[in-house]
Amino acid sequence: MIAIDWGTSSARAYRLGPAGSVTERRETGRGIMQVAGGDFPAALRDLAGDWIAAGEGRVLLSGMIGSRQGWREVPYRACPAGLADLAAGVEAVPFPGAAVRIVPGLSARDASGIPEVMRGEEVQVFGALDGREEALLCLPGSHSKWVRVRGGRIAGFVTSLTGEAFAALREHTILGRMMRGAPEPGGAFDAGVARAAEPGGLLHHLFGTRTLGLFGRLPEAEAASYLSGLLIGHDVRANLPAGEAVDLIGSGPLMALYGRAIAACGGTARAGDPDAALRGLARIGETIAWECAWA
Amino acid sequence: MIAIDWGTSSARAYRLGPAGSVTERRETGRGIMQVAGGDFPAALRDLAGDWIAAGEGRVLLSGMIGSRQGWREVPYRACPAGLADLAAGVEAVPFPGAAVRIVPGLSARDASGIPEVMRGEEVQVFGALDGREEALLCLPGSHSKWVRVRGGRIAGFVTSLTGEAFAALREHTILGRMMRGAPEPGGAFDAGVARAAEPGGLLHHLFGTRTLGLFGRLPEAEAASYLSGLLIGHDVRANLPAGEAVDLIGSGPLMALYGRAIAACGGTARAGDPDAALRGLARIGETIAWECAWA
């Protein structure tokens, strides 16, 4: 089977051997927004045509590929939802030479009834759980997700615009003028996380990034770390119940930053599995019917 | 006397007659960032050279013109500070044919010891007070200021990045893709203000702007109003003590939006004086020594 986590700006493809082992893997920057003319069959051939030609007849996709902007809009399943609910919502798309299926995303409502959506993270969650039935998971990113698992099902989740807000504030406000370099896990980041616990609110805390610089208390090389700590600190404090353990899912620099912020806020962060998507897709792939009208 | 409120992106000039009456006024988009080569004497001649030639020998400036990027960096005065402290910090700049003076800005520290700064708003505050000795004032804008006056002096103030955050989020995140038009004081704005009182934090509330649109609960024509309500709601809730009266200073659409948010949060907003800067400059101009070495 071929498993592909196909998001907005990138795609990760895995060729699976027996018992879910990975025999080959590829990563490309060709997310759904980079597929010319929306020709997803051609993009799939580019990405994994040789694997299909070599005999892989089953392809399972997750992520924004199942959105309105993707190959086919697969309706969200509502929380609470388990692996079986995801499998039941899988839809087929026509593709010559292989059975291609897309996993649905999930919807939920937060405590105030505001809708929530995810596409792709739900598969990573089930891959990371590895059979556990109770967990709090965090998937840091442009739109960070906090996911609550109860009884082996995703009970609900909330999203914060943390990463995208950081980029917009850094690139397009006065704050970025006194900033050099990328956020690092260190003292300036910790100071931002600590600041998030103080009164005044995020909009006021943001302005402090500038005044601390003006008064020589925040060097330009540390200002991006402080701003990142402010935003991640606000995100973690809003979503982490006191003292709880959190499974971090993902890869890259955000893992260390979120891990540090969670610890500073009294929680325990467990480093996550960077191949969680693959494991989730493999589990779903084992359960669905692969009889294929278009093969 | 000539009074000029000279900020980053605009300048407002007033020619004053007896007892502070305004005989002429001009507004230009030539803020300090638009003065070619930093030639502020030439910019002043363009702005008010005819008034000076007609006999006005005194020119008093406030705002970012006194910053490092302006004509001359005039050191901040520390809060608490009264009108006499501002007058004592006024500095002269050389200009042939008139005595030109710049009013200092103010610095403060918030409850956590983080520095705060303003340039220009302090003059507006004293103009708006009109002799009152106790007040809470709000000056909405890119960097909204909340100013506490006690015993006729500015005791302290805090700044929120409200307006600049709105612009960056709207123009440079996914939120703006489902938005048309400008924020209006209406039901969608009120819904954003109400949302700011709910749990989850601002970063989570921001993402709801997108999901409400995805689920058909927030039309594109109302999304900017909702986002504005969210941000102004968070700003007001962080800075408005329960039931207090607030003097709003400024002009333009933000007055109605902040007034509505303050009322929704249980406060009382009083519409402010759009010419507060002029009145503050006139009062300072009456008290300072105008003997001029450079005239």
Instruction: Give yes or no for B175 touching A (CB within 8 A).
Output: yes
* Same domain, residue pair A53 and A20: yes
Per 3-state DSSP, chain A is made up of helix, strand and coil in percentages (nearest 5) of 40, 25, 35
pLDDT tens profile A228-253: 999 999 999 999 998 999 999 998 99
> Chain B contacts of A212, Cβ < 8 Å?
114-115
Q: Model ipTM?
A: 0.94
Within a domain: residue B295?
A: no
The reply to whether residue B203 touches residue A115, judged by beta carbons under 8 angstroms, is no
**What is the Cα–Cα distance from A187 to A194, expressed in whole angstroms?**
10
Q: What angle do CA B101, B107, B108 make, to 5 degrees?
A: 155
**What is the Cα–Cα distance from A59 to A53, expressed in whole angstroms?**
12
Within a domain: residue A54?
A: yes
Specify the pLDDT at position A56. Answer: 95
**What is the Cα–Cα distance from A35 to A43, expressed in whole angstroms?**
7
* Same domain, residue pair B131 and B14: yes
pLDDT tens profile B146-161: 999 999 999 999 999 9
The reply to whether residue B202 touches residue A202, judged by beta carbons under 8 angstroms, is yes
Specify the pLDDT at position B271. Answer: 87
Specify the pLDDT at position B292. Answer: 54
Tell me how crowded residue A160 is: count the other CB atoms within 10 A of its CB: 29
Instruction: Give yes or no for B170 touching A (CB within 8 A).
Output: no
> Chain B contacts of A174, Cβ < 8 Å?
164
In angstroms, the separation between the Cα of residue A250 and the nearest Cα of chain B is 20
* Same domain, residue pair B101 and B122: yes
**What is the Cα–Cα distance from A139 to A128, expressed in whole angstroms?**
11
Query: With 0-12 CB in 10 A as exposed, 13-18 as middle and 19+ as buried, what is B199?
Result: exposed
Residue of A32, A109, A114, A215 best to disrupt the B interface, most CBs of B under 10 A: A114
* Same domain, residue pair B181 and B58: no
**What is the Cα–Cα distance from B103 to A138, expressed in whole angstroms?**
50
Residue with tokens 């819904």: B191
Q: Record the tokens describing residue B39, joined without a space.
A: 């030639």
Nearest CB among A114, A200, A231 relative to B203 is that of A231
The reply to whether residue A207 touches residue B161, judged by beta carbons under 8 angstroms, is yes
In angstroms, the separation between the Cα of residue B4 and the nearest Cα of chain A is 24
* SS3 of residue B89 by DSSP: coil
Q: Strand B91-93's sheet: what is its strand order? A: B22-28, B11-16, B2-6, B58-62, B99-102, B91-93
Task: Give contacts of A 26-85 with B, CB under 8 A.
Answer: none
Q: Estimate the crossing angle of helix B253-264 against helix B220-239, to 10 degrees.
A: 60
- Which distant-in-sequence residues (6+ apart) come within 8 Å of A20 by Cβ? A278, A279, A282, A283
* Same domain, residue pair A248 and A280: no
Instruction: Give yes or no for B201 touching A (CB within 8 A).
Output: yes
Specify the pLDDT at position A117. Answer: 97
Q: What CATH number should be reported for the domain holding residue B77?
A: 3.30.420.300
Specify the pLDDT at position A292. Answer: 54
Q: Going by DSSP bridges, is the β-strand pair B77-78/B106-109 parallel, antiparallel, or unpaired? A: parallel
Distances (CA, A) of B278 to B18, B246, B274, B275: 14, 20, 9, 5
- Tell me the HSE value of A243 on the side-chain side, using a 13 A CA sphere: 0
* Same domain, residue pair B70 and B57: yes
The reply to whether residue B172 touches residue A167, judged by beta carbons under 8 angstroms, is yes
* Same domain, residue pair A254 and A282: no
The reply to whether residue B202 touches residue A234, judged by beta carbons under 8 angstroms, is yes
- Work out the end-to-end distance of chain A between its first and last CA atoms, rounded to an integer number of angstroms: 14
Specify the pLDDT at position A265. Answer: 96
* Same domain, residue pair B170 and B156: no
* Same domain, residue pair B43 and B145: yes
The reply to whether residue A167 touches residue B162, judged by beta carbons under 8 angstroms, is no
Nearest CB among A112, A161, A203 relative to B207 is that of A161
Q: Which domain holds residue B228?
A: 162-270
* SS3 of residue B151 by DSSP: coil
Q: Estimate the crossing angle of helix B220-239 against helix B202-214, to 10 degrees.
A: 160
How far out from the chain centre does Cα B287 lie?
24
For chain B, the C-alpha Rg in angstroms (whole number) is 21
Q: Going by DSSP bridges, is the β-strand pair B245-248/B135-139 parallel, antiparallel, or unpaired? A: parallel
**What is the Cα–Cα distance from B5 to B61, expressed in whole angstroms?**
6
Within a domain: residue B124?
A: yes
Tell me how crowded residue B82 is: count the other CB atoms within 10 A of its CB: 17
* SS3 of residue B167 by DSSP: helix
Q: Record the tokens describing residue A109, joined without a space.
A: 């409502």
Within a domain: residue A28?
A: yes
Q: Record the tokens describing residue B197, joined without a space.
A: 């009182």
DSSP per-residue codes, B104-137: --EEEE-TTS-EEEESSHHHHHHHHHTT-S-EEE
User: Do residues A110 and A156 touch, judged by C-beta distance below 8 A?
Assistant: yes
Instruction: Give yes or no for B195 touching A (CB within 8 A).
Output: yes
Distances (CA, A) of A285 to A75, A107, B10, B158: 19, 21, 62, 55
B51-77: b or e for each residue (b if 16 or more CB lie within 10 Å)?
A: bbeeebebbbbbbbbbbeebbbebebb
The reply to whether residue A214 touches residue B165, judged by beta carbons under 8 angstroms, is no
**What is the Cα–Cα distance from A123 to A137, expressed in whole angstroms?**
12
The reply to whether residue A235 touches residue B203, judged by beta carbons under 8 angstroms, is yes
Specify the pLDDT at position A290. Answer: 87
In angstroms, the separation between the Cα of residue B3 and the nearest Cα of chain A is 28
CA dihedral over B176, B177, B178, B184, signed as positive or negative:
positive
pTM value is: 0.94
* Same domain, residue pair A170 and A262: yes
Within a domain: residue B150?
A: yes
Q: Which of B49, B57, B48 is nearest to B25 (CA)?
A: B48
The reply to whether residue A173 touches residue B165, judged by beta carbons under 8 angstroms, is yes
Q: What CATH number should be reported for the domain holding residue A264?
A: 3.30.420.310
Domain count for chain A, please give it: 2
A199-232: b or e for each residue (b if 16 or more CB lie within 10 Å)?
A: ebbbbbbbbbbbbbbeeeebeeebbbbbbbbbbb
Within a domain: residue B223?
A: yes
Within a domain: residue B171?
A: yes
* Same domain, residue pair B102 and B155: yes
B191, closest residue in chain A (CA to CA): A114
* Same domain, residue pair B199 and B260: yes
- Tell me the HSE value of B37 on the side-chain side, using a 13 A CA sphere: 4
DSSP letter (8 states) at residue A81 = B
**What is the Cα–Cα distance from B244 to B262, expressed in whole angstroms?**
9
* SS3 of residue B139 by DSSP: strand
Within a domain: residue B283?
A: yes
Q: Record the tokens describing residue B254, joined without a space.
A: 């933000």
Residue stretches of chain B with pLDDT short of 70: 292-295
pLDDT in tens, chain A (295 residues): 999 999 998 999 999 998 778 999 999 999 999 998 999 999 999 999 999 999 999 999 999 999 999 999 999 999 999 999 999 999 999 999 999 999 999 999 999 999 999 999 999 999 999 889 999 999 999 999 999 999 999 999 999 999 999 999 999 999 999 899 999 999 999 999 999 999 999 999 999 999 999 999 999 999 999 999 999 999 999 999 989 999 999 989 999 999 999 999 999 999 878 889 999 999 999 999 887 555 4
